[in-house]
Structure 1
């Protein structure tokens, strides 16, 4: 959930091979010139993942607050602690293709599964289906600081997402794609929704994860950023109470790497599902970058309209309807997604039939057939499938 690097311990790959001068590592808010330099100096088309996972006890299938010990035993810098003591994060390196990033993700999942022994298991669950309450925090200074700032709300944030980092190598293009993806956050939330249960009950939502996350500030639909000057001003305004890592919106410009970080996606049960959704996101971003170059992207939609669609997406997933952000026309979410997939497919070598299958047979339906008590053992079984 929080700001742990996606790209090993280096900056995002840059055409010059070196960090941007003045990049914001010291905590001081960057100015607009630094932001433009940072977001213009990445290698376009590179991609990386962060994947948040849960550690559970076999038998009871409840969270196990032992992630730190498991991570220490594995000793791999790509496997990292998270805010909660029962949560683990995988952070991949930079890749030129989604397939390469998925392969690395899969190998890290295998490392975790092998390290668990017979008593523990790791699962990819956006929300633990049997838990609804406070959880132990990791024994870190950062967790203690956030606990002091946000109170017990932090202990309820046992939520896991798949975060995709996208590089464009051009500051203006990055900001244009930011706004275009911002309009499409509800469609992506509907596609990836995989958290119907909390506290042992069906919430009636296809994903309750964003509802839990919204107990914290700066969640959901991000603000319009009219310019890098405006973004620099906003970062400076909030610098006294938060860092840029606490811009927890579902999409954000990432100040350490010069990427767009898409944070709207629920973590997926298998790397096969991750691959299907991430390949679509990557192709969609490439199409939007092309539309930016052609000068045909629309201006950003009002936040409240996107938020209205977002709620419908969280409730109904792909089986609902979304409103056109300009005309208000209601359309089936499935139709919206299929149209986006058709438009993105020219940018996806090998096609996007795998993500069409996700739209037509959403994984949340299978989770509901298992019920809240059956989900966790199934997730443990398919974790490395």
Structure 2
């Protein structure tokens, strides 16, 4: 996502009023995609041509990303998960059709699986300043993630929610893993994007913060240090939106199916809603040491859901799937209150049966499918054909 512009749609007054009356939390999602050649698996720099093919009435939800082989969509905020699904289905289908007319394919994958030349920057003055200061920290053809926005009552509550979120985000990261292949080779990681993304100086777990004032001071100090150009480069795994009254959860790969994306969105909302209640009840977030948080995120990137995670409450290794089930049980009351529990049960069973995007790509490779075939599968899955 363009770090300076967190989406392009604003919440309507009617939706905001309904959310306030009902004490429910709205949510929205942003997805970044890779553009690949219509025949070959390599990425192509067709973002301008694709955007030109998007119908005018949908342009507000589509935007450039950092590289010319990437494109991003942002959903309108929603109360109903089914409405969010419908909105994202239309956006994915519309963008896939536009990519086809521009001679390319839309692929929901964390990094470019096939080898090929590095993509050039989008011609944006801010991006050129980023390259000038930070160098080539995004080699390859594009790094594509998913960001979920969940509404919060105020910034002070939001900062305390960020503190509580820290122990749960490695598990959500494992569930989104969708980038095991890079440059034509299996990397040994379920999410190679996570490894590449950590090159940027402000990427990592959100620090433990005492107040919103400290949050703002930290942003100012990081800008003064030169580690980021502006607030948009605050790449913590969860942060307060600079534009909307939301917590933004942003550590995950873009996922191949809408089922996967909707599961993440529902769990993110259930988690934030649960933690708002905890904050209001005076619960104190555990101050887990930063090295242990980093280890948990590394484990999530390495194994995805198919291996081992770290239970940050006990500090012991646990099967990653058990940790995800534990998270679902923890947020179930809020899933039920928001009307998401039944669908989450279906989606978690589908994820268990199919595996993460990383697991499905690895299964194809294990059968002898070439990388080009994996990219074909990703393109069809992104369109909803698989």
TM-score range, shorter chain: 0.7 to 0.9
Structure 2 gaps of 5+ residues are 366-370
SS of match in other structure, 1:238: helix
Displacement of 1:155 in angstroms is 4.2
SS of match in other structure, 2:240: strand
Quote the residue 1:305 is aligned against. 292
Displacement of 1:124 in angstroms is 0.5
Quote the residue 1:370 is aligned against. 364
Displacement of 1:260 in angstroms is 1.0
For 1:156 and 1:60, locate their aligned partners in 2 and report how far apart those are by CA, in whole Å.
Answer: 16
Please identify, of 359-368 and 189-198, the stretch whose mean Cα deviation from structure 2 is larger.
359-368
For 2:122 and 2:352, locate their aligned partners in 1 and report how far apart those are by CA, in whole Å.
Answer: 36
- Tell me, yes or no, if structure 1 residue 89 matches structure 2 residue 72: yes
1:344-377 residue CA offsets vs partner (Å, 9 max, x unmatched): 2222224221124324542222211222332211
Quote the residue 1:253 is aligned against. 240
Quote the residue 1:34 is aligned against. none
Structure 1 gaps of 5+ residues are 19-39
SS of match in other structure, 2:207: coil
For 1:147 and 1:169, locate their aligned partners in 2 and report how far apart those are by CA, in whole Å.
Answer: 36
Within a 5 Å distance, the mapping from 1:325-336 to structure 2 comes to 325-336=312-323
Please identify, of 97-106 and 180-189, the stretch whose mean Cα deviation from structure 2 is larger.
97-106
Q: TM-score, normalised by structure 1?
A: 0.86
- Tell me, yes or no, if structure 1 residue 105 matches structure 2 residue 88: yes
Change (3 A) 1:101 1:210: same
For 1:166, which of 132, 138, 150 is the aligned residue?
Answer: 150
1:266-316 residue CA offsets vs partner (Å, 9 max, x unmatched): 111121221122212211222222222223343332211111111111111
Q: TM-score, normalised by structure 2?
A: 0.86
Q: Is the 8 A contact 1:157 1:212 kept in 2?
A: no
SS of match in other structure, 1:61: coil
Displacement of 1:133 in angstroms is 6.5
For 2:348, which of 347, 350, 355 is the aligned residue?
Answer: 355
Change (3 A) 1:14 1:366: same
SS of match in other structure, 2:106: strand
Displacement of 1:13 in angstroms is 5.8
For 2:194 and 2:141, locate their aligned partners in 1 and report how far apart those are by CA, in whole Å.
Answer: 10
Displacement of 1:183 in angstroms is 1.4
Change (3 A) 1:237 1:162: same
Within a 5 Å distance, the mapping from 1:230-309 to structure 2 comes to 230-240=214-224, 241=226, 242-309=229-296
For 1:147 and 1:203, locate their aligned partners in 2 and report how far apart those are by CA, in whole Å.
Answer: 26
For 1:225 and 1:359, locate their aligned partners in 2 and report how far apart those are by CA, in whole Å.
Answer: 35
Q: Is the 8 A contact 2:43 2:116 kept in 1?
A: no
For 1:181 and 1:48, locate their aligned partners in 2 and report how far apart those are by CA, in whole Å.
Answer: 18
1:114-137 residue CA offsets vs partner (Å, 9 max, x unmatched): 223363111111111113763211
Change (3 A) 1:55 1:384: same
Displacement of 1:44 in angstroms is 5.7
- Tell me, yes or no, if structure 1 residue 140 matches structure 2 residue 124: yes
Q: Is the 8 A contact 1:191 1:359 kept in 2?
A: no
1:202-242 residue CA offsets vs partner (Å, 9 max, x unmatched): 11111110111112111121222221121121222233432
For 2:44 and 2:303, locate their aligned partners in 1 and report how far apart those are by CA, in whole Å.
Answer: 31
For 1:157 and 1:218, locate their aligned partners in 2 and report how far apart those are by CA, in whole Å.
Answer: 21
Q: Is the 8 A contact 2:163 2:206 kept in 1?
A: no
Q: Is the 8 A contact 2:36 2:69 kept in 1?
A: yes
For 1:15 and 1:183, locate their aligned partners in 2 and report how far apart those are by CA, in whole Å.
Answer: 34
For 1:157 and 1:175, locate their aligned partners in 2 and report how far apart those are by CA, in whole Å.
Answer: 34
Quote the residue 1:384 is aligned against. 383
Quote the residue 1:195 is aligned against. 179
Q: How many residues align?
A: 361
SS of match in other structure, 1:153: coil
Please identify, of 83-92 and 233-242, the stretch whose mean Cα deviation from structure 2 is larger.
233-242
Change (3 A) 1:275 1:93: same
For 1:61, which of 41, 44, 47 is the aligned residue?
Answer: 41
CA RMSD of aligned residues (A): 2.4
Displacement of 1:173 in angstroms is 2.4
